[in-house]
Amino acid sequence: MITTKVFLQELIINPDRLNHLVDEAKEAALQHGLLIRTRETPNSSEVVTYAPFTLFPSPVPKAVLLQALEVQTHFNTLVDRISQDPDFLQEALAGTIQADDFTAKLFRIHRQVQQEGRTQSIVVGLNRSDYMVEPAADGTSSLKQIEINTISAGGFGVTDLLPAVHRHILRSVGLVEESECVHESDRTPQMTAALAKAWELYGQTKAVIMFLVEDVQISQLTHRCIERELWKRNIPVIRRHFEDVSTKGFLDGDKRLFVDGLEVAVVYYRYGYMPDNYTEQSWDARLLMERSLAVKCPDISTHLAGTKKVQQVLARPGVLEKFFPGQPEAVEQIRATFTGLYTLDMGPEGDRAVAMALANPHEFVLKTQREGGGNNYFGEDIVRVLQEFKSDPRRAAYVLMDRIRPRTEENILLRRGLPLRLTSVCYEIGVCGAYVRHEGQMVMNEAVGPILRTKSVEHDDAGLIGGVTVFDTPLII
């Protein structure tokens, strides 16, 4: 198999050939429907462009990809079990909610729902677990988890179309054998099946699935892919903002949620994961939805189960065992993907982590409880930030993580307006997970995926909308 790396090196010194291939790649993307709205007109479908992607798919060792897919159903179970353990959440997040206002607000809703008694026994989770692949000196690779996203996780929708685009690109340059190794996965129907299952269990054919969305809808076409799958099953879908819920939403005597006169069977959050997504009114709307009988994707406790603080606590000895009694294989499979995570809560353990980070800042990542990319600190920034509050409780808003040094590849990133250049890149593998629990029983638990997201190694942090990351497909090696 010729590596795409060799091919790229030849291509980059032949601008005519390169431009021709890039045009072909972009047109294939448009033709297949790998589309995104533009940043200039994010709410208009008058002008769209291709969703950013790599010219070639990135090589991924088969063993690590299989490992990531295999462990996913255990991660689904883990997230779900955490969400049902208020004592664990209380203890894990005790320091964080003192220091981090956003987590505290989420936690307040979680506590109120607990106190009132949960009304809904159906739970649907759509998550994505992200990994980097770290090479070892002996030539092997290991899979290291970056984080798990339990709210508004992307990784399906229009990107389902990328493998076909990559296969076409490889074939068009004669790399036929390689084109057979492009990993195919039709994620949207599988992810949507979980939403559909939850809707069915809710049991009201007139009730809708409500996508809770933001005003700036650059990713709308991805949502439309999910909606289309639901409409195919005769499941009605509406799209609403927090404001619609606060002005036109109410609960009836049985706590059924109505918005615009329509009963809502499932609330699917594609928004609400960052502090600036909320006004005071939206917090009230979130509480209203959480208290309601509607199935939430995710519910507030599953949202909290996806915080980086919870991730750090899970890495402590004995914690996974508590969630998987009598299942040592599951524990082992999950733990094999963990890298070092350290508490910054007040106390001697946190003091040691601070000292460690200050002594070797380039070996760590300092992480906040935010989502969406661009919120972490690397290298000297860790020193700067920690110096400020290393001795006071504000530090509990963060966790410390070993810095993963991923495999690097060569590729060309295609994004509207970005100059073409051969770039040293690294990827993150995202495996989607879908599950439904009903009255204490998992009635669906699936590993779905994977999607790759790739960035230049010049960037420490990632972020798709921020313009650092592009979509990619695994080329199995």
The residues that touch ligand ADP, with contacts defined as CB under 6 A, are 130, 146-147, 365, 367, 371-373, 375-376, 401, 403-404, 428, 461-462
Query: How would you classify residue 475: left for phi > 0, otherwise alpha for psi between -120 and 50, otherwise beta?
Result: beta
- Residues 152/269, Cβ–Cβ less than 8 Å: yes
Whether 130 and 68 have beta carbons less than 8 Å apart is answered as no
Exposure b/e, 211-246, CB count within 10 A at least 16 = b: bbbbeebbbbbbbbbbbebbeeeebbbebbebebbb
- When the beta carbons of 206 and 362 are compared against ligand ADP, the nearer one is 362
Question: Tokens in use for 223?
Answer: 């949502």
Q: Give whichever of 50 and 377 is closer to ligand ADP, judged by the CB atom.
A: 377
DSSP-derived pairing of the beta strands 48-50 and 35-37: antiparallel
Cβ 401 to ligand ADP shortest distance, Å = 4
Looking at beta carbons only, is 106 or 404 nearer to ligand ADP?
Answer: 404
User: What whole-number distance in Å separates Cα of residue 400 and Cα of residue 206?
Assistant: 47
Please identify the residue of the shown chain whose CB is closest to the bound ligand ADP. Answer: 462
Give, in degrees to the nearest 5, the angle at Cα 265 between 264 and 266. Answer: 95
Q: How far is the CB of 373 from ligand ADP (least distance, A)?
A: 4
**Ordered strands of the 364-367 beta sheet:** 341-343, 399-402, 364-367, 377-378
> Nearer to ligand ADP by C-beta: 303 or 367?
367
Q: Which is nearer to ligand ADP, 165 or 462 (CB)?
A: 462
Nearest approach in angstroms of CB 345 to ligand ADP is: 19
Whole-number minimum distance, CB 428 to ligand ADP, in Å?
A: 5
**Shortest CB 311 distance to ligand ADP, Å:** 9
Q: How far is the CB of 404 from ligand ADP (least distance, A)?
A: 4
Give whichever of 53 and 199 is closer to ligand ADP, judged by the CB atom: 53
Residue 427 backbone zone (phi > 0: left; psi -120 to 50: alpha; other: beta)? beta
Distances, alpha carbon 73 to alpha carbons 67, 428, 450, in Å: 11, 19, 13
Shortest Å distance, C-beta 145 to ligand ADP: 9
Q: Is the link from the previous residue into 298 a cis peptide, with omega within 30 of 0? A: yes
Asked whether 473 and 34 are in contact (CB, 8 A), the reply is no
Q: Which is nearer to ligand ADP, 167 or 403 (CB)?
A: 403
DSSP assigned state of 73: H
Question: Between 84 and 408, whose beta carbon lies closer to ligand ADP?
Answer: 408
Phi-psi category of residue 33: left, alpha or beta, with phi > 0 → left and psi -120 to 50 → alpha: left
In the complex, the smallest distance separating the C-beta of residue 381 from ligand ADP, rounded to whole angstroms, is 13
